[in-house]
Each structure stands twice: as structure tokens, then as C-alpha cells.
A = this chain, B = another copy of it.
Amino acid sequence: MGRTPRISTALLSLMKRPEHHAWTLDDLQAGLARRAVAADFSTVFRAAEKLVAAGLAAKLMLDDGRARFELAGAHHDHLHCTRCDELVAVPCVIGREAFAGLEAETGIAVSEHRVVLGGLCATCRPLEPARR
């Protein structure tokens, strides 16, 4: 019952492309358009949210106030490049041990963590200094 989730499927396929690691809704819509898939913004939004709900994608809010979506996968951290504005994946910097110490020290309980580094990505590092 119900038809095939054309857009959701296209999104999953699109997000595998190296064009971006993490996609804003605009990125997603533009990416689909480039592949000749016309989709309304609200449809892209709902499809992306559904992927997140299904555990196939993850949503992340950056300081610029725009959500980014990425394919779900092994945990990793991110670098937000100050020059090209891309959000790139980097291996996780924090070890489990660090949390154990922190929990003992502070009385908190840590269930997840999110690290966003600021700096230059591997592509931009050799180039000019940061824009902003």
C-alpha cells in the first residue's frame, strides 16, 4: 500500500556521493535537481527526517543554524572548514576512558558526544588562510 518512496531512495543514493559528507536540505534538493530529480523542498525535508527516524541518516545542527544530514554509520567527529564551509568527517578524538574519568569527577552520565572542530580541511589547508 502506498507508493515507492522515490525521493527517500534518491536521497540515500545521493548522500553516498562524495560531493558532500553532510548535506543541508538545500544541498539535498540541489543535488537531486542536478540528477534530474525534481522534488519539493518539503518533500526533501520529510524524506530526510524519515531517514533519520529509520536510523539510516543522522541530523546535525551547526553554529550557522542550518541542519545537515549525513548517512548513518560508525561514529566519527567532524571538522567544519572555515575556508570552504564543508563539514568533513574525521576519526573520533575522544576515548571511552575520558568519559569514565569525567563521570567520576563530575557526577554526570554521558550517553553520547558530538565534536565539531573548527579549522581547515585537508584540501584548504595548503591554500590561503581562512576567510573569516
A32 at the interface (CB under 8 A from B): no
B-contacting residues, A103-120, CB 8 Å? 105-120
Residue in contact with A90 in the complex, picked from B63, B91, B108, B130, CB distance below 8 Å: B108
Given the known A-B contacts A79-B108, A115-B113, A125-B108, are A93 and B94 also in contact in the complex, defined by CB atoms under 8 Å?
yes
Chain B: CB-nearest residue to A126: B107
* CB under 8 Å from chain B, chain A span 3-52: none
Q: Is the CB of A117 within 8 A of B112?
A: yes
Establish whether residues A65 and B63, one from each chain, have CB atoms under 8 Å apart when the complex forms. Answer: no
Quote the shortest CB–CB distance from A5 to chain B (angstroms).
25
Please report A residues at the B interface, Cβ cutoff 8 Å.
59-65, 67, 79, 82, 88, 90-91, 93-94, 98-99, 102, 105-122, 125, 130
